[in-house]
A and B are shown apart, each in its own frame.
Chain A
Amino acid sequence: MDRNLFKYIWRNSWRDQLAILAIVAISQVFYFISLDLPKQIVNNAIQGAAFKGNPTAPFLRLTLGPYDWLGLPKVTLFDGFQLDRVDYLIALCCSFLFFVVLNGWLKQRVQTEKGRLGERMLRRLRYELFDRILRFPFSHFRKVKQAEIATMIKDEVEPLGGFIGDAFIQPAFLGGTALTALYFLFTQSIFLGGVTVAILAIQVVVIPRLRVKILLLGRERQITARQLAGRIAEVVDGAQEVHVHDTSNYERADIVNRLGHIFKIRFDLYQRKFFVKYLNNMLAQTTPFLFYLIGGYLALMGRFDIGSLVAAIGAYKDLPSPIKELIDWDQQRQDVQIKYDQVTEQFSPTGMMDRTRQDVGAEVSLPVAPIDLQHVGYIDESGARLLDDVTLTLASDRSVVAMGHGKEALGFTLARFVDPTTGSMRIGSYDVKELPEAALGRYLSYVGDEAYLFPQSIRENITYGLKHRPGTVSSSNEESNRRREWEIAEAMRAGNPVLDITADWIDYQAAGVTDTAGLSAAITDLLAVAEFDGDVYHFGLRGFIDPTERPELAQQFLLARQAIAERLRQPVYRALVEPFDPERYNKNLTLVENMLFGTPTSGTGFDYARLVESPFLTQLLDRQGLTNDLLRMGQQIAETMVELFADLPPGHPFFDQFSFIAADELPAYQQLVQRLDKGGLGEATLLDRRKLIGLTFPYIEARHRLNLIDTAMEERLLKARRAVFDTLPPELRTRIDFYDPERYNAAASVQDNLLFGRLVFGQAQAHTKIGKLISEVIDNLGLRAYVMQVGLDYHIGSGGKKLSTQQRQKVALLRALIKHPQVLVLNNAFALFDHATQHRLLDRLLAYRKGKATVLMTDTASLAWSCEDAVVFKDGRVLEAGAVAELDQPGSLLRDLAGPSRQQRAEQEIGDTTPVPATA
């Protein structure tokens, strides 16, 4: 990126800039004509100079020449229309109007083009900055704050975009306008032109200087005001001291002094500000004074015509504003250049990756070969030597454990987060340093100690490892093609690459499958490797399916529902599940689910908020005499929520987990509660009533335990349920999914559909026992894989917050595995798990990856016994390297660190002496 903003702008937009400048130049001609026409109107039409005593005069006569120096005579191209005086006046006025309109239109064109140019440049700048983030050296990520660079791209470059459109055109346009006006003045009278230039010079030179002082004063005013606030706070904090030591008058004196100082600054500021204004106005007004006086005098003397005088005054009127805007432009320029400098500095760290490394077309398929490190050293920014003369060969088909200080740096080097300071790393004949990311990214996978997950579904996070380049675009019609063409053209104009986000980016081949279905199956198979299948199954039970999209699966789940219902009849389960029964109130469902005996259909935009507003419900509640009861219930809930949550800071997790009211709405409810407390429910407005009734909707008696719904109330709500069913208008019928024993409910979770009931709150064993029951039925019907498919769509929340740290790590592992990398680097990737889990996970993983390279960096040294090779570091140097079986000698560092192997322990315990290979 150019250091100079203007160079950057010109280099990237000179074509557009020239095009607009051309329009600007043309507009000046029309502007000149529109200045000249008033003179013609006054002189030729009103005063009749054009008629020279004739009844008519030619209008629009076009002549060329005479060009005496070429010896050409005057040629009349068009004789013009002969018009009488009134028609002539009208014609001239209409032309005046025409040019004014034309000029306005050109101005508008310039503005639009300028805006487009600015936006294109903003897009280019933003893209370039983001592109740079993608090419930052990894060490730089530790230095920058992510929020800072994000706001830089988002907010700080925005004024740049606004300015870029103006960078060349504004001075050209304004300067052009001013010069045209000046030129016109000079053509009318050199004297008047000279006066104008003199007065403008004062404006241009003096006023900015005066302004500088005003800016300084403004800054001082800010500082003193801040200090005043600080002092007041000090006095408040030290109130005891002030009283004890009787220093109140001293403090008074201090504040009085400060206030006096502030007054002086502010008054100074006003004086200067108004003086500048006055000066500006005076200069602007003095010029016409001179025009009237001198121009009028000249006109009286007959040396100047009145038309010219009127036109000169008109031209002058246009002058001050472009001059003022030019001064503003210059200030903006300085401001923007500073911003641009700051941004480019932040985004130009040393050691940026070369663009070619990430080239989308790069295609290098690496040979399956050992990774060969020769004398690799790495020194980090703080000067610490993390790798010291490491010479090592990592087999392409064996598992390696790396232990000791230096292993992490080895991991970073292998994944190329850092480039070795000395030495070389090669795969076959390729120098790893030179490889494009396309080659290494497919050959090698890496999982660190706390991997980042994107706020998407589990499935999308896992397939993220396959999204290297755009594949085929799924569907295309004429409209989408046209749109795409426009997108490509516009992207190219802004210097953006033409990569299509709507294309299918997944590299199925890398995952060893051919299509989406195959990929889903591959992921499901893979889950067990990371012991994540159970979790995904449970997410699946909590998930949703659309029975219209997957009718067969819905049918299968309905069969499971029957099987489960049969088993639920056994007495052990009776207290654990409360089935959905059309004839009974369900204490474990929300009030509104009970009343509707269903849930609003998702995706129709119809939700509880809309339901409260619907006239149908209002009338129904009135008819059933429930309105007042629900209002009172809502009032009680509001009171309880205000009481419970008023003390909690906004953003506290309890709001999400437990509150009926969002943190930002709580104050409004606080006021409502107070109002109702004083004046009763009569005080409630229509909006309040909706709010209160809305609060009762999610209320579950068994869970929230506020004693709001007794048996009598249950009966009345059941009556309302029947009324809903009987009187629901057809347009709402499609927007609510009812609990129908014979149908799959799309708005309810898979588990709700399977159980056709809810687990009873407070039954400690319900979860385990019923979970087991469902699991058995699902397995009997062979539905587990389908439930897991639903579970893969579970959205993991921002940063994966809806998963535990262990679950997140497992997803990261799966993401690394799905592309079947030849080399998998696990840099402390298991540290989050307890030792038993680490052993289990590693054994599963190595069994799965047999014949490929897995490099494990770990502090859990006993894991070494599961690996084939081992590397032991100390202070960045390799002290031991080789096959685990060979290193397993008395006195070896490996045995020191890792303790007895499983086999040795087994021998000790059973006393069996049969030798078993160490790596079995």
Chain B
Amino acid sequence: MSIHDDVEALRRIPLFTKVEPSKLKLMAFASERASYQPGEILFNQGDLADAAYIILDGTADVMVNTPSGPLKVAEMGRDAFVGEIGILCDIPRTATIIAREPLTTLKITKELFFRMITDFPSIAIEVMRVLAQRLEHTTEQLRDAVADHD
């Protein structure tokens, strides 16, 4: 497992597809690998967000606290980008992430992420584009849902 694998993984994340390879390499070099055993927690719902994670290998469960106890809402696998909303919006974690299988991630700290955005506007523009697309997507879903409701 070398830095080249990490760069490849970063490239597969939509947010970073269009970023120059040398920038991705810098990002990979400045990031740390973080491995988890099954059952170990990446972060808890309500924690302060300090990093985002790219899953390099393994799967993780996304859990949300409900009045009737924790509820699994999704499953994340290879190449998923987890926790980026928290560091971008500076809000507490909206869900708990638990490793289901032995999990290897690339941990991108909030500081690093913001450094990359300020230093390389191309990344910032890409982030904006992806977020806007997501918003558009959500709005569309909402529109459909409202239409269905009627």
- The stretch of B29-37, B63-71, B74-82 in contact with A is B29-37
Is there an interface contact between A764 and B40, defined as CB atoms closer than 8 Å? yes
Q: Which of B76-107 contact A (CB under 8 A)?
A: 104-105, 107
Asked if B36 and A765 sit within 8 Å, CB to CB, the answer is: yes
Indicate if the CB atoms of A653 and B40 lie closer than 8 Å: no
A382 near B: Cβ within 8 Å? no
**CB nearest neighbor in B for A644:** B26
Size range of the chain A interface in the assembly: 20 to 34
Chain A residue with the shortest CB-CB distance to B34: A764
CB contact under 8 A between A644 and B36, given known A705-B2, A705-B6, A764-B42:
no
**Among the interface residues B104, B107, B115, which one has the most CB atoms of the partner chain A within 10 A?**
B115
Dominant SS at the B interface? Answer: mixed
A706 touches B119 (CB 8 A): no
Distance between Cα atoms of A643 and B2 in the complex (Å): 17
Given contacts A648-B119, A652-B119, contact A706 B35 (CB under 8 A): no
**In the assembly, what is the distance between CA of A654 and CA of B25, in Å?**
13
Which chain A residues border B30 with CB–CB below 8 Å? Answer: 654, 657-658
Checking B2, B26, B32, B40 against A706 with a beta-carbon cut-off of 8 angstroms, the contacting residue is B2
Task: Give Cα distance in the complex from A764 to B107, angstroms.
Answer: 9
Which chain B positions have C-beta within 8 A of A761?
32-33
- Cβ of B130 within 8 Å of any chain A Cβ, yes or no, is no
A705-B1 contact, Cβ under 8 Å, with A644-B22, A764-B40, A765-B36? yes
- Residues of A within 8 Å of B1, CB to CB, are 705
A645: Cβ under 8 A from any B Cβ: yes
A residues near B6, Cβ cutoff 8 Å: 705
Residues of A within 8 A of B131 (CB): none
Q: For the complex, what is the distance from the CA of A707 to the CA of B29, rounded to whole Å?
A: 12
Whether the Cβ atoms of A707 and B2 lie closer than 8 Å is yes
Within the complex, what minimum Cβ distance (angstroms) separates A771 from chain B? 15
Q: Is the CB of B36 within 8 A of A704?
A: no
**A653 partner residues in chain B, CB cutoff 8 A:** 115
**Is there a chain A Cβ closer than 8 Å to B3's Cβ?**
yes
Q: Which residues of B contact A707 (CB under 8 A)?
A: 2-4
Docked CA distance A657–B27 (Å): 13
Cβ of B4: which chain A residues have Cβ within 8 Å of it?
A: 707
Interface pair A645/B26, CB less than 8 Å apart: yes
A706-B3, A764-B40, A764-B42 known; A654-B22 Cβ under 8 A: no
Q: Do residues A704 and B3 form an inter-chain contact, with CB atoms below 8 A? A: yes
The listed residue (A658, A705, A762) touching B35 by CB distance below 8 A is: A762
| Contacts of A332-353 to chain B: CB distance below 8 A | none
B25 touches A705 (CB 8 A): no
A764, B35: Cβ atoms closer than 8 Å? yes
User: In the docked arrangement, what's the CA distance between A765 and B39, Å?
Assistant: 12
Q: Is the CB of B2 within 8 A of A762?
A: no
Contact B22 A762 (CB under 8 A): no
Closest to A762 in B: B33
How far apart are B101's CB and chain A's nearest CB, in angstroms? 14
Nearest A-chain residue to B111, judged by Cβ? A653
- Check A644–B35 contact: CB distance below 8 A: no
Q: B22 contacts A647, CB within 8 Å?
A: yes
A763 interface residue (CB < 8 Å to B): yes
Q: How far is the CB of B107 from chain A (nearest CB, A)?
A: 8
Q: Are B22 and A764 in contact (CB under 8 A)?
A: no
Within the complex, the shortest CB–CB distance from A434 to chain B, in Å, comes to 50
Chain A residues near B104 (CB-CB < 8 A): 762
Report the separation of the CA atoms of residues A657 and B29 in the bound assembly, to the nearest whole angstrom.
11
Contacts of A647 in B (CB 8 A): 22-23
List, in ascending order, chain B residues with CB within 8 A of A652's CB: 119
Q: Could you tell me the distance in whole angstroms from the C-beta of A111 to the nearest C-beta in chain B?
A: 55
Kindly identify, within residues 607 to 650 of chain A, every residue whose CB is under 8 Å from any CB belonging to chain B.
640, 643-645, 647-648
**A569–B118 alpha-carbon span in the complex (Å):** 45
Chain B residue contacts of A762, Cβ below 8 A: 32-35, 104
Task: Find out whether the CB atom of B25 lies under 8 angstroms from the CB atom of A644.
Answer: yes
Tell me how far the C-beta of B25 lies from the nearest C-beta in chain A, rounded to whole angstroms. 6
Residues of B within 8 A of A640 (CB): 25, 29
The CA of A654 and the CA of B35, in the complex, are separated in Å by 24
Contacts of B119 in A (CB 8 A): 648, 652
User: Chain A residues with Cβ under 8 A from B115's Cβ?
Assistant: 653-654
How far does the alpha carbon of A405 sit from the alpha carbon of B24 in the complex, in Å? 50
B29 & A644 in contact (Cβ 8 Å cutoff) = yes
A699 to chain B, nearest CB (A): 12
Closest A residue by C-beta to B28:
A705
Contact A643 B22 (CB under 8 A): yes
CA distance A902 to B120 in the complex (A): 49
A533 to B110, alpha carbons, bound, how many Å? 26
Are the C-beta atoms of B40 and A643 separated by less than 8 Å? no
Residues from chain B with a CB closer than 8 A to the CB of A658 are: 29-30
Closest Cβ of chain A to B145, distance in Å, is: 37
- Complex CA gap A640/B2 in Å reads 13
A765 to B40: give the CA distance in the assembly, Å: 8
- B2: chain A residues at CB < 8 Å are 705-707
Q: With A643-B22, A644-B29, A657-B30 as given contacts, are A705 and B36 in contact (CB-CB < 8 Å)?
A: no
Q: How far is the CA of A574 from the CA of B11 in the complex (A)?
A: 33
* A850, B141: Cα distance in complex, Å: 60
Find the A residue at minimum CB distance from B4.
Answer: A707
Distance between Cα atoms of A644 and B30 in the complex (Å): 10
- Bound Cα distance A459, B1 (Å): 43
Q: Which of A648, A653, A654 has the most CB of B within 10 A?
A: A654
Instruction: Using CB atoms, name the residue of chain A closest to B120.
Output: A647
Could you tell me the distance between the alpha carbons of A765 and B107 in the complex, rounded to whole angstroms?
Answer: 13
A52→B147 CA distance, assembly (Å): 138
A159 to B4, CA, bound (A): 58
Q: Tell me how far the C-beta of B31 lies from the nearest C-beta in chain A, rounded to whole angstroms.
A: 10
**Distance (Å) between the CB of B112 and the closest chain A CB?**
9
Write out the residue numbers on chain B whose beta carbons fall within 8 Å of the beta carbon of A657. 30
Beta-carbon contact of B40 and A705 below 8 Å: no
- Which residue of chain A lies nearest to B26 when distances are taken between CB atoms in the complex? A644
Bound CA–CA A658/B30 (angstroms): 6
Cα distance, A761 to B106, chains bound together (Å): 12
- Using a CB-CB cutoff of 8 Å, which residues 763-790 of chain A contact chain B? 763-765
A778 to chain B, nearest CB (A): 25
- List chain A residues, Cβ under 8 A from B25: 640, 643-644
Q: Which of A643, A653, A657, A705 is most buried by chain B, counting CB atoms within 10 A of its CB?
A: A705
- CA distance in complex: A764, B37 (Å): 9
| Bound Cα distance from A762 to B23, whole angstroms | 22
In angstroms, how far is the closest chain A Cβ from the Cβ of B26? Answer: 4
Within 8 A of A (CB), among B36-75: 36-37, 40, 42
Assembled-state Cα–Cα distance A908/B37 (Å): 45
**Given A643-B22, A705-B1; 20 other pairs, CB 8 A cutoff:** A644-B26, A644-B29, A647-B22, A647-B23, A653-B115, A654-B115, A658-B29, A705-B2, A705-B33, A707-B2, A707-B4, A761-B33, A762-B32, A762-B104, A764-B35, A764-B36, A764-B40, A764-B42, A764-B107, A765-B36
Can you list 15 A-B pairs, Cβ within 8 angstroms, ordered by A? Answer: A640-B25, A643-B22, A644-B22, A645-B26, A647-B22, A654-B26, A657-B30, A658-B29, A705-B2, A705-B6, A762-B33, A763-B35, A764-B34, A764-B40, A765-B37
Closest 10 CB pairs of A and B: A762-B33, A764-B34, A707-B2, A705-B3, A644-B26, A705-B2, A658-B30, A764-B36, A762-B35, A643-B22
Give A contacts to B, CB under 8 Å: 640, 643-645, 647-648, 652-654, 657-658, 703-707, 761-765
By a beta-carbon cutoff of 8 Å, the part of chain B in contact with chain A is: 1-4, 6, 22-23, 25-26, 29-30, 32-37, 40, 42, 104-105, 107, 115, 119
